């Protein structure tokens, strides 16, 4: 365990925006994680666990303890039909996918290059190119912050939804994901329904799918080590069938996909059609190639990003009547905050 006071957080989140916290602690074991929560000197302070910082924006000085999750380790076993992986929460997700491909363990290749760590994957129920985390999840282990016991949930108990899970609701601020269990079938079949993947042959290998997706993401998305960003900033809104039919009647070219509870509309298309690619406020801008990504173009402040997000929200709502929801978590002085709250405060 290492402890830093008044630490600059710019190096710990992919936006790379200057912001600090009262205390920064690194933890390498579950026991150290428990010690942080039990330490009397930090008892009254708010706490948040940070993995790779790929989905957060610190909006102001954090008056609490930021805990860097550095739990590491991958265990693999197999039977006749499946590979079973137990992955510690601090393992990098892109590195895990690449490692599985190199070990000829198929099933994760469609989730290549999604930034973040394994512990964040079930919280967001990350997904891309026709696969979500829930499709490969066997179980999730979390530390209960009331009993300090590690509890295991099976896939059904995680209550997965689109970019959603029990960890955003019933277990919000009551749990820290410390490990995930993955179940990957040996009877692998490629999933090639989305975009350029359709050009691959049905006989393609997991490595070919992986390489194709890495190529797509490298060309479309900015590298956060070079240009600060947090990936997809907004969720793709899910509309009821009736809402979608009304939208499609006026905008027949709208990009959409079927969803379990309605129709998923491409937020990037909505933003692009508002002419916002390249639009900039302060040092924050909409990426020129991918309208779903907000970038730290030139020494952006958190306020620049918030004001840009608000402009995008208003523009899309005024044109399409669709309310976007940000996927990136806004972390305020002591808790998570939301764009709609900020907008209401501006109006009052």
Helix pair angle (93-102, 206-220), 10° resolution: 150
Q: Which of 98, 208, 325, 327 is catalytic?
A: 327
SS3 content of the chain, % helix, strand, coil (to 5): 30, 30, 40
Q: Which of 54, 165, 232, 315 is catalytic?
A: 232
Q: Residue 270 and residue 301: Cα distance in Å, rounded?
A: 25
CA atoms within 13 A on the CB side of 331: 24
Q: Residue 162 and residue 238: Cα distance in Å, rounded?
A: 9
163 is catalytic: yes
327 is catalytic: yes
* Angle, CA 48 vertex, CA 336 and CA 38 arms, to 5°: 135
Tokens of 27: 């933890």
Q: Residue 74 and residue 89: Cα distance in Å, rounded?
A: 10
Q: Which of 163, 217, 297, 329 is catalytic?
A: 163
174 is catalytic: no
Helices (H), the chain: 30-38, 93-102, 121-124, 206-220, 241-250, 267-273, 302-320, 339-347
Q: What is the distance, to the nearest Å, from the Cα of residue 263 to the centroid of all Cα atoms in its chain?
A: 21
Q: Residue 152 and residue 180: Cα distance in Å, rounded?
A: 9
Catalytic residues: 163, 232, 327
């Amino acid at each position: 365990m290492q402890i830093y006071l008044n630490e600059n957080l710019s190096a710990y989140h992919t936006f790379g925006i200057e912001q600090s916290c009262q205390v920064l602690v690194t933890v390498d074991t579950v026991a150290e994680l428990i010690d942080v929560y039990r330490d009397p000197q930090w008892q009254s302070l708010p706490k948040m666990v940070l993995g790779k910082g790929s989905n957060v924006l610190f909006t102001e000085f954090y008056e609490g303890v930021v805990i860097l999750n550095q739990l590491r380790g991958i265990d693999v076993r197999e039977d006749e039909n499946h590979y079973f992986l137990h992955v510690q929460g601090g393992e990098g997700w892109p590195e895990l996918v690449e490692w599985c491909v190199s070990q000829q363990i198929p099933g994760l290749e469609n989730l290549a290059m999604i930034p973040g760590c394994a512990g964040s994957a079930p919280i967001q129920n990350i997904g891309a190119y026709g696969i979500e985390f829930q499709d490969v999840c066997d179980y999730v282990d979390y530390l209960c912050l009331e009993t300090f016991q590690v509890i295991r949930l099976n896939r059904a108990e995680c209550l997965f939804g689109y970019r959603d899970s029990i960890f955003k609701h019933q277990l919000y601020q009551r749990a820290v994901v410390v490990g995930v269990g993955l179940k990957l079938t040996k009877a692998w079949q490629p999933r090639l329904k989305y975009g350029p993947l359709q050009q691959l042959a049905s006989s393609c290998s997991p490595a070919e799918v992986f390489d194709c997706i890495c190529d797509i993401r490298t060309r479309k998305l900015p590298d956060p080590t070079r240009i600060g960003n947090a990936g997809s900033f907004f969720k793709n809104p899910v509309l009821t069938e009736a809402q979608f039919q009304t939208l499609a009647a006026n905008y027949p070219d709208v990009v959409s996909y079927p969803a379990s509870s309605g129709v998923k509309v491409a937020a990037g298309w909505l933003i692009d059609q508002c002419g916002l690619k390249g639009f900039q406020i302060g040092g924050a801008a909409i990426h020129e190639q991918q309208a779903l990504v907000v970038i730290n173009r030139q020494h952006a402040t958190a306020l620049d990003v918030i004001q840009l997000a608000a402009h995008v929200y208003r523009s899309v709502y005024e044109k399409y009547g669709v309310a976007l929801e940000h996927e990136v978590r806004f972390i305020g002085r002591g808790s998570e905050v939301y764009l709609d709250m900020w907008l209401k405060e501006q109006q009052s």
